[in-house]
């Protein structure tokens, strides 16, 4: 599909791309990074749920314990409590930090950007939190707004942990040499490969000033017959 130009500053050096393990969008991710002039300029780390699997807290009310039937039907993971789930995610987060450290070493501290790519209809949110967007009794627009709001919340939590100055990143990872400021891009990809910049959304999933779409000529509203 035709993709709108990104609105954030173009990466100056190399990048670490963090995406979900979902097989449906692998080619679309590569295409988007090509559009962003990042071909052969990034390391790729895949984890179920992307930001969801890297948080140290959950949004209030998101976690719902699975029923015995859901576990028997293989619809949910056999994780009964929120603390148990966060313990699992803490192991994933530790692995992620190791990958960031490895990337900085392998590139001689030349990673300037990190892409966090969430996506539509993410199965990890269903099996870990019981967040099946398709079953919500809302209009398609309301469902999309809810889904965007949810993904933005988790992406923002991860961004807070790795954003800021290079000194903070270096201190967290045990580096004695600063790689320079790291820019974190929080993105959401639809199942058709369209990318929405989550940083341009308000907390309710609505656009907040910015947009990934190129401006169009304004047309006079049509009058009802």
pLDDT at 212: 43
Query: Which are the contacts of 186, defined by CB distance < 8 A and separation ≥ 6?
Result: 51, 116, 118, 152, 155, 156, 159, 197, 198, 199
* Domain presence at residue 218: no
User: pLDDT for 166-177, tens place per residue?
Assistant: 455 556 666 555
Q: Pull the structure tokens for residue 39.
A: 């071909």
The number of domains in the chain is: 1
* Domain presence at residue 78: yes
* Domain presence at residue 150: yes
Q: Which of these, 136, 168, 150, lies nearest to 49 by C-alpha position?
A: 150
* Domain presence at residue 132: yes
| Percent of the chain residues past pLDDT 90, beyond the cut | 56
User: pLDDT for 57-79, tens place per residue?
Assistant: 999 999 999 999 999 988 899 99
* Domain presence at residue 80: yes
The Cβ of residue 75 has, within 10 Å, a number of other Cβ atoms equal to 14
* Domain presence at residue 159: yes
* Domain presence at residue 95: yes
CATH code where residue 166 lies: 3.40.1050
In which domain, by residue range, is 134 found? 14-200
* Domain presence at residue 85: yes
User: pLDDT for 3-24, tens place per residue?
Assistant: 667 888 899 999 999 999 999 9
| Residue 187, H or E segment | strand 183-189
User: pLDDT for 163-222, tens place per residue?
Assistant: 544 455 556 666 555 555 788 999 999 999 999 999 999 866 666 644 444 334 445 455
């Amino acid at each position: 599909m035709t993709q709108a130009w990104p609105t954030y500053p173009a990466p100056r050096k190399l990048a670490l791309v963090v995406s979900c393990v979902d097989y449906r969008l692998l080619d679309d991710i590569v295409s988007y990074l090509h559009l962003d002039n990042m071909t052969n300029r990034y390391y790729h780390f895949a984890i179920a749920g992307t930001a969801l699997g890297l948080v140290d807290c959950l949004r209030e009310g998101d976690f719902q314990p699975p029923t015995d039937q859901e576990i028997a039907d293989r619809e949910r993971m056999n994780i009964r409590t929120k603390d148990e789930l966060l313990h699992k995610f803490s192991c994933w987060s530790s692995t992620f930090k190791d990958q960031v450290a490895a990337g900085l070493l392998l590139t001689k501290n030349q990673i300037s950007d990190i892409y966090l790519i969430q996506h539509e209809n993410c199965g990890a949110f269903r099996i870990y939190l019981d967040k099946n967007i398709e079953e919500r009794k809302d209009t398609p627009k309301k469902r999309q707004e809810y889904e965007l709001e949810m993904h933005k919340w988790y992406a923002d939590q991860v961004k807070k942990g790795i954003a800021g100055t290079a000194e903070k990143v270096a201190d967290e990872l045990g580096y004695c040499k600063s790689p320079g400021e790291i820019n974190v891009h929080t993105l959401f990809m639809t199942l058709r490969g369209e990318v929405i910049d989550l940083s341009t959304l308000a907390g309710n999933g609505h656009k907040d000033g910015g947009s990934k779409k190129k401006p169009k000529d304004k047309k006079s509203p049509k009058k009802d017959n």
